[in-house]
Amino acid sequence: MSTTIVAGLTPPIHSTFGEDSPRARRTDPHTSHEAADSNDVTRSIGWVLSLLHNVGPLADHEIEAAARRRDVRFTGQRLRTARAALVRQGKVTDSGETRLTPNGRRAQVWQLAEKVAA
């Protein structure tokens, strides 16, 4: 396989990482692989699940605000991705409610699924 080098871009470095990270493409630069490897998906999913269990239903922006207040170092995107994973797993559901974001837009409110809350 040939690699085209584009000015200003680092060519992919595959041998450095052994097996490629499942969250970065083989063609991504090494910095993307480092970021993907440092991204603690399991911990963020557990944190969101625990937060919803302890606090109750929240919108994504409220989950992010709770993380900032607790000095938890997850990005808003990481937290939304964790919440979405919990929805796919059937552990979190849409409550049917909405709340206003700081920008005045309506946002879905997420809650633990009944089987998880019990």
pLDDT recorded at residue 22: 57
Q: What is the pLDDT of residue 117?
A: 65
Closest among 38, 4, 9 to 21, alpha carbons compared: 38
| Cβ atoms 59, 67 nearer than 8 A | no
Contact 58, 51 (CB under 8 A): yes
Q: What is the mean pLDDT of each run of 10 residues along the chain (118 residues)?
A: 43 38 76 72 94 98 97 94 96 98 98 81
Enclosing H/E stretch for 13: none
Strand, helix or coil for residue 23: coil
pLDDT digits (tens, 9 = 90+) for 5-26: 444 444 333 333 344 445 678 8
pTM of the model: 0.69
Around 113, how many Cα atoms within 13 Å sit in the side-chain half-sphere? 11
Fold of 41-117: Arc Repressor Mutant, subunit A (1.10.10)
